[in-house]
A and B are shown apart, each in its own frame.
Chain A
Amino acid sequence: MSDDVKPGTDTTWTPKIVAFVCNWCTYTGADLAGTSRLKMDPNVRVIRLTCSSRVNPLFIIKAFERGADGVIVSGCHTGDCHYSTGNYYARRRFAILHDLLDFMGVENNRVTFSWVSASEGNKWQEVVNQTTSRVKELGPSCVPLNQKGGE
């Protein structure tokens, strides 16, 4: 953690969370959550991609570098991929990324991988709220602050 902001001591801080979602399931699911007027924490910025396998691990690294405190990656349930097999490949990649981030010291609770289908507006609400509360508990991410000698 940084020297000046200790987790839980800055009362004005709210987390920034970036969500990479697939167009066919989770984006539609998030849309459903919106039109159903489900109450959600306003910390999540959604980025729509064609498929969860479009998510290059570098997107997640870059999001943290640019100030995200948490990341959500969400796509279709396995077997339901619009492109048949995209999310199976994505799952393998995320499994390794999940382990590696933890090994390099980024708390696992900052990154949420989930499957949310187009009809699961309620599940999207849960994913957003739970991720936000987990990231709030962890406090600000140390990645962007750790740029001494950088920008």
Chain B
Amino acid sequence: MKELQELSRQLLADDVVKVVIGYEEGPRGVRAAFITDPAQTGKLVFDKRCVQNLATYLNPRRKQVAQLGKPAIVVKGCDARSVAGLIREKQVERGNIVVIAMRCGGVLENSEVDSELTSETVSVRCAGCDVRDPKLYDHILGELPPEPPVNPRRTEQIAALEEMTPTERWSFWNEELARCIRCHACREACPMCFCVQCTADKGQPQWIDPSPTPRANRAWQTMRVLHQAGRCVDCLECERACPEHIPLGLLARYVADAVKKRFDYAACEDPTVPAPMGVFRTDDDEEFIR
């Protein structure tokens, strides 16, 4: 933590960057901090409560952050994949950001309650993590902590859904999506949702009804996860932002698994690897084509 504060102070004092995007203590756990004054860098923290994906603040739609000037951003290995995604899709220029990567030993599901990492409290996004030692960085800090326990909840949920009949799955999603109020917080929180105009906001033609009807909610979420196929890093910002606690991460993880299975691709830290939906192989699997 000391080295993070010292590095940030130096970056700001030497005018390498104008703002450091990191974590600070908030009234409910840790929260995002935007430090522009070298004297304030003592506020920065990094520990197992830092579950949020700060890469979402590099999203060019967030003009208020861009206004602050060249950013340095604190990332975990998993968040570095979002940064790579933004670079890959030409939303951020590599030279215009400074990436401060933290070696990570897993994070808590709920950053408000500081507790030991157990298979219940650890975030589901840490299961199967292979980027605890980040590869995309300008500065890398910390010792590599021991591997966190695995939270099997998500895998179990997906397995349970796959066991069901289509009709049962239909009613499961009906129940979950009936709560959606179409606030679009899932879109706003997503680091990879950066379209200037979202299809859901288009009126002519109106692809998706803006009212929260069960049909429209279903169409909205289907479209959202399809647009995220191969781009989503499973950071669960959508799920955390959802005021109705809809398990949006289930859809994201399922699609990520499908992409992995079919195209042998998983979101990675290398911005030069093309995203799977923009390329093809002539021998792609086509067992579903009749």
Contacts and interface: CB of A to CB of B under 8 A. Distances in A.
Contact of A105 (B169, B211, B215, B254): B169
Contacts of A99: 254-255, 258, 262
For B211, B277, B288, the residue with the greatest tally of chain A CB atoms inside 10 Å of its CB is B288
B167 A58 contact: no
A103 B161 contact: yes
Interface band, chain A? 35 or more
Contacts of B258: 95-96, 99-100
Contact of A88 (B167, B216, B284): B284
B214 to A, nearest CB: 5
Interface stretch (B51-59, B93-101, B217-225): B217-225
Interface residues of B, number: 46
Contacts of B277: 89, 92-93, 96
Interface of B: 161-162, 166-174, 199, 207-209, 211, 213-216, 218-219, 222-223, 225-226, 229, 251, 254-255, 258-259, 262-263, 276-278, 280-282, 284-286, 288-290
28 contacts: A57-B223, A58-B199, A61-B219, A65-B215, A78-B286, A79-B282, A91-B280, A91-B289, A92-B276, A92-B284, A95-B284, A95-B286, A96-B258, A99-B254, A99-B258, A100-B226, A102-B166, A103-B161, A104-B173, A105-B168, A105-B169, A105-B172, A114-B289, A127-B290, A143-B215, A146-B215, A147-B215, A148-B214
